[in-house]
Amino acid sequence: MSDIDYPYSQGDRLEERNTYFYSQYHGMAFFPAWRASRQAALAQLPAAQAVQLPPAVESSDDDTLDTVELLTGLLHTDAAAPGKRRLVERLLQRFEVSKRLHRRYDSAFKAMADSGYDNLDLYLQFAALCLHQAEQPGALPFLNGLLKVIDSLISIHSRLTPAQGAQLAWLIAAEQDWVSRIATQADVEIAP
């Protein structure tokens, strides 16, 4: 158990969004708090199951970006494919600013507010997209995005279907694996 609180996955983080600004520095005490948050969530989720990639779809011809189409295209493409990284970075930046994923964006990646941000599959697929970038150079911003989207999903886990809950459990395990690999590379012990 941890001596500090981990508030980032508490409440409804789609409505009461985290800013992460001015977060208090806790040093190594942060890791047990983060891990306890994840373990508490896993205790309430079904057995882990990989995020299901949506079938590939053809892009629509209008001037807006459909997030399902965008995520599908990016997830079905090699993470190192030329030109794809910039799209992934733009979507990450949109999420980082708003902590939401809208169904549609305009050509400048501005959220179309009337398109809604309540499609929970988008958050699961976005988390999978962050993982898709894990082995690419400069992947730490995607780990940061992954941590935040998982915080949001844990905060609303009661709204997930059983299949979505199983996918969240898989994402939590993959997140923990990624953090552990980085800690090992940096020769840092983060065990509870």
10-14, 37-41, 90-94, 112-116: which range is least confident on average?
10-14
pLDDT at 1: 42
pLDDT (tens digit, 9 = 90+) per residue, 78-123? 998 888 999 999 999 999 999 999 999 998 899 998 999 999 999 9
pLDDT number for residue 104: 95
Domain coordinates in residue numbering, the chain: 7-185
DSSP string, 129-173: HHHHTTTSTT-HHHHHHHHHHHHHHHHTGGGS-HHHHHHHHHHHH
DSSP-derived letter for residue 39 is H
* Residue in 184, 163, 142, 147 with CA at minimum distance from that of residue 50: 163
**pLDDT given for residue 11 in this prediction:** 76
Which of 85, 83, 87 shows the shortest CA–CA distance to 70?
Answer: 87
pLDDT bracket for residue 184 (50, 70, 90): very high
Which of the residue ranges 14-18, 99-103, 149-153, 173-177 would you say has the lowest mean pLDDT?
Answer: 14-18
* DSSP summary character for residue 113: G
- Residue ranges of alpha helices (H) inside 43-119 are 67-75, 84-98
Q: Is the pTM of this model over 0.85?
A: yes
Q: What is the pLDDT of residue 61?
A: 61
Residues of the chain with pLDDT > 70, as a percent, come to 90
- Region 157-180: mean pLDDT is 97
Q: What is the pLDDT of residues 49-76, one digit of tens each?
A: 999 887 876 666 677 899 999 999 999 9
Phi, psi at 2, each rounded to 5°: -105, 155
The pLDDT score that the predictor gives to residue 29 is 79
CA distance 119 to 101: 8
Tally helices (H) and strands (E) across the chain: 6, 2
Reference 91, options 147, 53, 145, 21; nearest CA is: 145
Q: Which two tokens stand for residue 88?
A: 């992934």
